[in-house]
Every structure is written in structure tokens, then in C-alpha cells.
Amino acid sequence: MLKPRYVSIPVLLVLMAGCGGGGGSPTVPSDTPTPAPAVSGDMLAISQNKGWNYQGATTTSGPLTLTLYADPSSNGVTPLVLLAVAGTQADATAGSKAAAITVSASANGYAIGSYTIYNADGSIYANGALPTGSLLVPNTLTQGQTFTPYSGMTATVSFVGSVPGAGACPTQSAGATVQYSFQGQSYKVSYVPGCGVTQYVGNHGETFTLTSIGTYQLGTIGDVTRMRSLTLFDSLKSLWHVVTSGERLHNVLHP
């Protein structure tokens, strides 16, 4: 994976205006900085029973279909449950629960509350809570912007424009790619405001791209109460490494 990079703000070329008709005086050249491209809006676009379907592969398990499903909210907290099934399918709603995180909307964007990793039989492999105020993604993403989701993790907006997977969004618009870095690991997530996550690229090159969005009546499949009451395990420092590890998904699908 590429290391976080910082994109400099482009500067307009100095415009040299010629003399006007009739021998007018030349204009004085000036530099006008071009604002960095930015997008604003609801970066996750969560609504009850909504499911985002992704297709891709990991280096260990081959082709996979993932569905990120929004459980019904409770007290302003929404569990996003990751379902996984082997092969290339329209969705993974009939697959195994692989992981879940709880998120809540704030004035600045979406904050992460906690996470759970499931075994193939549905039992809990590991879970815990992240520090209060752990910001997954702010409401405005500007190219070159940096922020700290939580202590030890950094995030850089590496690109704003046409992002992978945006073609599956109901409304076509520009998005942004954020590169998250933690303890030498690097992950890229692309967002489109009003649509949600359109692509994920993992630390080992695993790539999952949005193929469709649907509404599914799966009921409540996340355990909000349990997840909200736990503390972070010292051995599970990186949410992104555990939730999206190709090896972990492989173990979930092939115990």
C-alpha cells in the first residue's frame, strides 16, 4: 500500500494580459490560489434496513461478496453489520456475520462507538469500544486534509473527484478517498456524499467495490447493548486491521 501522502494545493498560472485596443496600459500580473477540491454531505448516508453490496477478493480467500447492513438504530446509535459470503453474488444477506461497528452522527460527522468480530457460528470472537469521539469520517472532505480518528491513527484525504464504485450510487456525484494509517498499516476508503462507502482497499491489497444498494428486511442482527458496554481489548488496537483482515474473513467463511 502507498503511504499517506499530502497533495499540494495547485496554483493558477500567472495570467499576462496584453495591451488593450487603442494602446491601453498592461494589467499587473497576480497570483490567485485555486481552492482545493472538496465535497460535503452525509458520507455514510445511513438509513434503516439499507444494505451496501460489495464484490472483491482477498489474497487468502479468493472472491467474496460483502453486504454492509444498517441495523435499526437505538438511542441514536446504528450498528453497521458486515455480512460475507464466498463467491460473486448479488448480495451477502444470506451469508455469515463477519463483523459490526456502531456509529453515531455528530455535528462534525460520524463517530465510531464500538466493534465486534464474529466467529463462523455467530459467536463473538472479539469486541470492544473505541475512545469517545473516534471520528470515522467528517462531513466535509477537502483534498490534502488530515484528521485523527483516534490516538495513533491518522487519516489523509488523498483525492477528491470521481472515485471507484460511484457508478452504483443512485445519484452520480464527486466523492473523496481517505487513506487511514495505523502502526504501519494503510487502508483506503472512498466515500460519496449521500451514497456511502464506494470502495475499500485493505492493507494487503484486498479491494471491495460497491456494486449495488438495496433495502433488506433482516431484522436486528447486531448486538448493540453488548458492544456498547465493553472496553477495548489491549491486543486489538486497530479496528481496521481486525474488521477488514483478509485472514479473518477467510476464517469466518472457511472454519
Q: Which of 108-117, 126-135, 186-195, 230-239 has the lowest mean pLDDT?
A: 230-239
The ranges assigned to domains in the chain are 38-253
Give the model confidence (pLDDT) of 189-216 as tens digits: 999 999 999 999 988 888 999 999 999 9
Residue 68 has pLDDT above 80, yes or no: yes
- Top pLDDT among 148 and 239 is at 148
- Top pLDDT among 145 and 35 is at 145
Q: How far apart are CA 131 and CA 160, in angstroms?
A: 28
Share of the chain above pLDDT 70, in %: 74
- Top pLDDT among 9 and 116 is at 116
Buried b (16+ CB within 10 A) or exposed e, 214-241: eeeebeeebbbeebeeeebeeebebbbb
C-alpha cell of residue 243: 474488521
Instruction: State the pLDDT confidence band at 223, using cuts at 50, 70 and 90.
Output: low
Predicted local confidence at residue 204, as pLDDT: 83
Q: How far apart are CA 144 and CA 159, in angstroms?
A: 8
DSSP state of 167: G
Residue 22 has pLDDT above 50, yes or no: no
182 phi and psi angles, rounded to 5 deg: -155, 120
- Top pLDDT among 243 and 13 is at 243
Predicted local confidence at residue 1, as pLDDT: 35
Q: Which of 5-9, 121-125, 141-145 has the lowest mean pLDDT?
A: 5-9
Instruction: State the pLDDT confidence band at 114, using cuts at 50, 70 and 90.
Output: confident
C-alpha cell of residue 50: 439499507
Q: What is the CATH number of domain 38-253?
A: 2.40.360
Q: Which helix (H) or strand (E) holds 226?
A: helix 224-228
Q: What is the pTM of this model?
A: 0.76
Cβ neighbours for 123, distance < 8 A, ≥ 6 positions apart: none
Predicted local confidence at residue 29, as pLDDT: 59
